[in-house]
Amino acid sequence: MDPLRIKTTSLPERRTDVTFHIIDDEALIYDPDRGATHRLNSTARFIWEHCDGTSCCETIAREMTGVWDTPQDRACDDVVSAVGEMVDNGLLKVKRN
């Protein structure tokens, strides 16, 4: 999926068949379908953990601003970009809202 097609109103949802492990502030996700392991930094981990299929990208960004000192518009850009990358890597599916 083209990350440019991810919108602030998109509803990202984690795949349930991947393995998720926390290591310090980062995380590893193993995708058995692709035989691939993905390493997430603390920001990407935060986003991943909030991709529950009911929170839109804008809501996740608003949550981020409470954790990191970043403006809402920058947080939205970061969430949309990270979600797009995770969709491209097959880790998330996205519903349009």
What would the pLDDT profile of 52-65 be if each residue is shown by its tens digit? Answer: 999 999 999 999 99
| Each residue's pLDDT tens digit, 19-51 | 999 988 889 999 999 999 999 999 999 999 999
Q: Within 13 Å of residue 5, how many CA atoms lie on the same side as its CB?
A: 8
| Maximal CA-CA distance, the chain | 37
For the domain made up of 8-89, the CATH class stated in words is: alpha beta
Confidence of residue 1 (pLDDT cuts 50, 70, 90): very low
pTM score, two decimals? 0.90
